[in-house]
């Protein structure tokens, strides 16, 4: 028999092994809008109709030209791997897009096709920044920026914006942050912005691009909502600096979220660096999506018709929401969002959004997704859906307002 030692184990005692834990780099926050989508899906599965105003996703499919090109490709092509930088034809098509849209000449060799803009951010952060690098991110802002940086061992530095600067950074605010925080390695700005929809005016964009280049601070310009502006067209940062890193996507204006195809434009000396990273991390962007994306570049009439719907939705909500207590709306220059101050209604936007979903069937995103501190007083409405859905949302919110007042 095995001997028993006082305070010890016998040979027959089970050995307790503590479960292994996930890595520290994985300890990032969830993307709350995706959690809201899950809650909305659960409600739909229970038989309820939900009006989706939480997710920044067009309610329209990919353009007809894109879908037809994809169908032909399925029948006629093997659709194997492309090169890591993307297909030559799509890179050339994107270069033409910059010439036609912005009157900016970009060599196709500087364009990198990516698996959505999300892959573009990962590639940019890995190529530009070492561990510990400090990258300024406007708040409120797209939450995945800071979570990707954290997962890569880099440091997001909040660049707080507000009504005094129309909710966008300025050259002076970036300079002040760099001076008081021990310096910056990069700054990332989306214009139009998610969640606010506000834009950098051309002169402000020029000042930021020139300042960051002079100070050797990398400027990453997220231009994913270009094409979706309602007063003046957006200007690419490439108009002011060839050192700017551009990230864009076919998801928003081109109505191709699920196709997962985007692009980057980088200085020529970084192309091979990005290529090596892309080869190892992603091999290549999806072939079928690249075929569709190339065709989508020629679908301007259909895409502009989609934009007319967004503009109508925007006008409808700007007129209606103030009647229901949502009267503090950040200036909405572009994208398809309204960012509303609801501090007079709640100090817990997560609970407020959950209650709105439960009681009205309208799904919105709580502001804490975009600003961990002030966001508890804000919610974001997306008006990318059909106008009929926006009208139904207005009707539901109107009845909810009556019940609560």
Query: Given a cut of 90, is residue 182 above it in pLDDT?
Result: no
30-57 pLDDT, tens digit each:
888 899 999 999 999 999 999 999 999 9
Average model confidence (pLDDT) for the chain?
94
120-171 pLDDT, tens digit each:
999 999 999 999 999 999 999 999 999 999 999 999 999 999 999 999 999 9
Domains of the chain, earliest start first: 29-61+301-403 (3.40.640.10), 64-298 (3.40.640.10)
Residue pair 111/95 in contact (Cβ under 8 Å)? The answer is: yes
Q: What is the DSSP string of 32-72?
A: HHHHHHHHHHHHHHTT---EE-SS---SS-S-HHHHHHHHH
331-343 pLDDT, tens digit each:
999 999 999 999 9
* Alpha-carbon distance values, 183 to 131, 241, 260 (Å): 15, 21, 34
Of residues 58, 63, 62, 60, the one with CA closest to residue 384: 58
Of residues 172, 178, 133, 184, the one with CA closest to residue 155: 133
Query: Given a cut of 60, is residue 202 above it in pLDDT?
Result: yes
Residue 347 pLDDT? 95
Q: Which two tokens stand for residue 215?
A: 């100070």
Overall average pLDDT of the 259-286 stretch: 97
* Alpha-carbon distance values, 341 to 171, 185, 234, 405 (Å): 26, 32, 25, 18
7-23 pLDDT, tens digit each:
555 656 677 888 888 98
Residue pair 79/288 in contact (Cβ under 8 Å)? The answer is: yes
Q: What is the DSSP string of 184-250?
A: -SEEEEESS-TTT-----HHHHHHHHHHHHHTT-EEEEE-TTTT-BSSS----GGGT-TTPEEEEES
Residue 10 pLDDT? 63
* Residue 404 three-state SS: coil
Residue 1 pLDDT? 46
356-376 pLDDT, tens digit each:
999 999 999 999 999 999 999
* Residue 373 three-state SS: coil
Residue 2 pLDDT? 47
Percent of the chain residues topping a pLDDT of 90 = 89
Overall average pLDDT of the 61-81 stretch: 97
From the CB of residue 398, how many other CB atoms can be counted at a distance below 10 Å? 14
Percent of the chain residues topping a pLDDT of 70 = 97
List of residues 6+ apart from 319 with CB closer than 8 A: none
280-303 pLDDT, tens digit each:
999 999 999 999 999 999 999 999
Residue 29 pLDDT? 83
* Alpha-carbon distance values, 256 to 57, 162, 235, 238 (Å): 9, 31, 22, 24
Of residues 256, 298, 305, 306, the one with CA closest to residue 90: 298
Residue 30 pLDDT? 86
Q: What is the DSSP string of 269-292?
A: GGHHHHHHHHHHHHSS--HHHHHH
Residue 389 pLDDT? 96
Distance of CA 394 to the CA centre of its chain: 26
């Amino acid at each position: 028999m095995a001997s028993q030692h006082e305070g010890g184990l016998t040979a027959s005692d089970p050995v307790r092994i503590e479960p292994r834990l996930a890595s520290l780099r994985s300890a990032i926050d969830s993307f709350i809008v995706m959690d809201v989508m899950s809650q909305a899906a659960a409600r739909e599965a229970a038989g309820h109709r939900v009006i989706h105003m939480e997710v920044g996703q067009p309610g329209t499919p990919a353009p007809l030209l894109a879908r037809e090109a994809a169908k032909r490709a399925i029948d006629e092509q093997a659709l194997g791997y492309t090169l890591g930088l993307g297909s030559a034809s799509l890179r050339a098509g994107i270069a033409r897009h910059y010439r036609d849209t912005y009157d900016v000449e970009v060599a196709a060799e500087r364009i990198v096709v990516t698996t959505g803009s999300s892959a573009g951010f990962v590639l940019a952060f890995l190529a530009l920044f070492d561990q510990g690098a400090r990258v300024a991110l406007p708040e409120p802002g797209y939450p995945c920026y800071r979570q990707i940086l954290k997962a890569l061992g880099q440091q997001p530095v909040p660049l707080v914006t507000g009504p005094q600067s129309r909710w966008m950074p300025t050259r002076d605010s970036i300079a002040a942050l760099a001076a008081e925080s021990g310096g910056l390695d990069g700054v990332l700005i989306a214009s139009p912005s998610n969640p606010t929809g506000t834009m950098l005016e051309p002169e402000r964009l020029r000042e930021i691009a020139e300042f960051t280049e002079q100070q050797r601070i990398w400027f990453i310009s997220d231009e994913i909502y270009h094409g979706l502006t309602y007063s003046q067209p957006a200007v690419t940062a490439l108009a002011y600096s060839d050192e700017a890193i551009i990230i864009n996507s076919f998801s928003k204006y081109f109505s191709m979220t699920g196709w997962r195809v985007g692009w980057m434009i980088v200085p020529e000396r970084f192309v091979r660096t990005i290529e090596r990273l892309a080869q190892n991390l992603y091999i290549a962007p999806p072939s079928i999506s690249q075929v569709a994306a190339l065709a989508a570049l020629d679908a301007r009439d259909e895409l502009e018709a989609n934009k007319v719907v967004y503009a109508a939705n925007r006008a409808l909500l700007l007129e209606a929401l103030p009647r229901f207590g949502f009267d503090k709306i950040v200036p909405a220059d572009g994208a398809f969002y309204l960012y509303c101050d609801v501090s007079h209604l709640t100090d817990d936007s997560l609970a407020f959004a959950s209650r709105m979903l439960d009681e009205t069937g309208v799904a919105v995103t709580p502001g804490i997704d975009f600003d961990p501190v002030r966001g508890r007083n804000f919610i974001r409405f997306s008006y990318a859906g059909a106008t009929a859905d926006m009208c139904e949302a207005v009707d539901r919110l109107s009845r909810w307002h009556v019940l609560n007042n």
